[in-house]
Structure 1
């Protein structure tokens, strides 16, 4: 793949050309030249876009596509197309398909389905067999097949001894264990944040305490066992404090936050719209502020869309019976830009690769072209026509977002809207 990108502003603090507006020559999938002006004697495809900005490729540590088993929600092919046109050059795929991705053959299957796409797919294997939190899955075999981590998606590990063994066993091959932060006996049948709005609307509450107890437990276990722990999608102010304290003890722990938990609060529940039924639930503005501060000071290591397509039959029902989840790839950049600067937004979207064993690609001469292309300016109302996913369950519908994504150049391919 050969191309010439014209007049692009590079947003990459590690690049020699950070904040410079330049031409970028790509030959055979690699950046061969970056300069103020580059001629095009070989008549390569030229990419000229309004207010074009370029950064190293974005990464999402938690996406769900449905396939195999739930293709009506999303396929791997369309999911990766959605990711590419949303600016992501790499995504980590959760194991919550049917069957659950819990063995060597399953990892091999999803990798084969994702072959030769612009966006790279990194599979996460289930931590336990069929994600039933009973027996450990074939972790080492899945690691050898290409799994980058192990996680029973949104299913808490109720047995602390099971997590203890998982951390001890996986440390032998540098495996990354994910533990969903929810104590099920405390969360009970709660479907939204336990607070004023849950009481006022008559919806069962899921208190922040359920998340915080589980995080405290997991940090104690990590301190005892060693190993590598990642806590996905924290959502409360107290959770940020607990992670901060764990890092002060030099524990090998990282965490993420879902973008919708940064931007939206439980005030959105007013109309009982099931698009806002997510797990962990939307919390209060105080929690949002603490999460934003946690990202700014480095306590929270990365953001994720926690992209989870749900078919209309499972969303267009009474709130208590609707499935949890929102899609988030298409709205990620625009939503983050409503609360952060462009520089910070790009930093957040490119963090987390190393934790999942993914190589960073800086925008410099000689580097493989792994680029996200976007325009950081301009506000717009996010509508259904902006959604590429098969499922349309976005919590950001009709929200004002800032900036637009053009697509990516990666894996020797160009994927642009």
Structure 2
């Protein structure tokens, strides 16, 4: 069927003249042909869903799967199915694989493996060779093959000069550099946020200072060099202030926050559940309050699921030895919707597209259909039955989420959840 008719859909898109209006939307051959109060098209396949809302397709700026090398955590095929079910029409796929994505051939592999899927995959090349933090990787070659940014996933760039050179070099081809906000000399062997809970539980702490020092250093370097910097997954009150001040100065910097750090505090750690062992570590209510304020006022540019699958062996072990990370694609929208209004949710899930060089397509006549279909209402308890990822290490298990994802429309394909 080449035509699809979405009936009675509330459009959530501030760039569209139909924003917050209930409309019928006719899509033919992947293009939005008509938007009107009522459309009759006998040849079209009608989609009628309870309280249907549609927005521009969502983008997740930090996703890990496993393939190549760690297929037991997650394959690309099942990972893309998970992303589609979770409402994402585009994801930035980190190079935390084996081998890492540090060359042209690695980027080609990902692009070839994911071509034509309903979910668009944008590979993130590592900033350094083998993600070791010593020598810059083949940045220009990777960019020409389709890498949208450069990031050693959750590995701090210890060498300030290396970041300086990266920021200078990437200006030649509009490259986007990411720098993980943690100073390892301060964090050392810390496991969780350094606060009252870490002391009570006898767990080594990662001070907020380790994040804030690294961000301060990175912003000084950016001011010196120019270039484009993205700071992924900030987590502290002071970090929000630092980035707000940098933006006021006119520095070309953006940042994201992980859904885990926006919803969960280090109070969750009392049972030593390793699903809550994440990076950045879960912080305090005071930090969450500032992060939410930063998201609403635009200091924070977007929310990421920070989807990071790990096997049972990696997680069902002593807290000290467990891997960092939680899956988050399936729960990201519901967790976000439970704490902010719908317009803020959609802005948070689409706000980083332009920064990562992804063309935004408004919900308007003549545009390509790049849509997420959802119902913003209704609460439920997130459980394993909602997880389609191979790995089940979810920090949101047992939490009350709000809203339902119906599916996505992209690349002339529609994907609807059963």
| Length-normalised TM-score, structure 2 | 0.99
2: CA distance, partners of 1:51 / 1:242: 40
Q: Distance in 1 between matches of 2:46 and 2:298?
A: 38
Which residue is 1:18 aligned to?
19
Structure 2 residue 397 is matched with structure 1 residue 397: yes
Cα RMSD, aligned residues only:
0.7
Structure 2 counterpart of 1:233: 233
**Partner SS for 1:32:** strand
Matches within 5 A, 1:242-253: 242-253=242-253
Shift of 1:245: 1.4
Q: Take 2:390 and 2:112, find their aligned partners in 1: how far apart are those partners?
A: 21
Task: Establish whether residue 41 from structure 1 lines up as the match of residue 42 from structure 2.
Answer: yes
Following superposition, the deviation at residue 297 of structure 1 comes to 1.3
* Partner residue in 2 for 1:86: 86
SS for the counterpart of 1:118 is coil
User: What does residue 197 of structure 1 align with?
Assistant: 197
- Equivalent residues in 2 for 1:182-331 (5 A)? 182-331=182-331
Q: In the TM superposition, what is the alpha-carbon distance from 1:20 to its structure 2 partner?
A: 1.3
Task: Provide the rounded CA distance (Å) in 1 between the counterparts of 2:231 and 2:248.
Answer: 16
- Mapped partners of 2:22, 2:228: distance in 1: 40
Match of 1:170 in 2: 170
Structure 1 gap ranges (5+): none
Given that 2:302 and 2:347 are in contact with CA atoms closer than 8 Å, whether structure 1 keeps it comes out as no
Q: For 2:355, what is the secondary structure of its paired residue?
A: helix
Tell me the CA shift for residue 317 of structure 1. Answer: 0.5
Shift of 1:3: 0.9
Q: Which residue of structure 2 aligns with residue 180 of structure 1?
A: 180
Are positions 1:6 and 2:7 aligned together? Answer: yes
Q: 2: CA distance between counterparts of 1:12 and 1:172?
A: 34
Q: Distance in 2 between matches of 1:270 and 1:364?
A: 49
How many residues are treated as equivalent by the alignment? 416
Q: Which runs of 5+ in 2 are unaligned?
A: none
- Tell me the residue number matched to 2:53: 53
Give distance in 2, aligned partners of 1:362 and 1:393: 35
Q: TM-score, normalised by structure 1?
A: 0.99
SS in structure 1 of the partner of residue 5 of structure 2:
strand
Return 193-202 or 1-10, whichever deviates more: 1-10
Deviation at 1:133, TM superposition (A): 0.3
Which string of whole-angstrom CA distances, capped at 9 and with x for unpartnered residues, describes residues 138-190 of structure 1?
A: 00000000000000000000000000000010111110000001010110110
Three-state SS of the structure 2 residue aligned to 1:234 is coil
Whether 1:69 aligns to 2:69 is yes
Query: Does the aligned pair in 1 maintain the 2:194–2:207 contact within 8 Å?
Result: yes
Following superposition, the deviation at residue 40 of structure 1 comes to 2.1
SS in 1 for 2:260: helix
Return the alpha-carbon distance in structure 2 between the equivalents of residues 28 and 324 of structure 1: 43
- 3-state SS, counterpart of residue 164 of structure 2: helix
2-side partners of 1:234 and 1:399: how far apart? 22
Distance in 2 of aligned mates of 1:41 and 1:251:
53
Separation in 2 of the partners of 1:109 and 1:326? 25
Deviation, 1:47, is 0.9
Q: 2 CA distance for matches of 1:334 and 1:400?
A: 8
Deviation at 1:2, TM superposition (A): 2.3
Q: CA deviation at 1:14?
A: 1.1
Partner in structure 2 of residue 158 of structure 1: 158
Distance in 2 between the 1:348 and 1:280 partners? 19
Secondary structure at 1:31's aligned position in 2?
strand
Shift of 1:41: 2.4
Ranges of 4+ aligned residues in structure 1 off by more than 6 Å: none
Q: Give the drift of 1:233.
A: 0.3
Query: Where does 1:113-124 land on structure 2 (aligned, <5 Å)?
Result: 113-124=113-124
Report the Cα distance in structure 2 between the residues aligned to 1:264 and 1:391, rounded to whole angstroms.
Answer: 20
Secondary structure, in 3 states, of the residue corresponding to 2:221?
helix
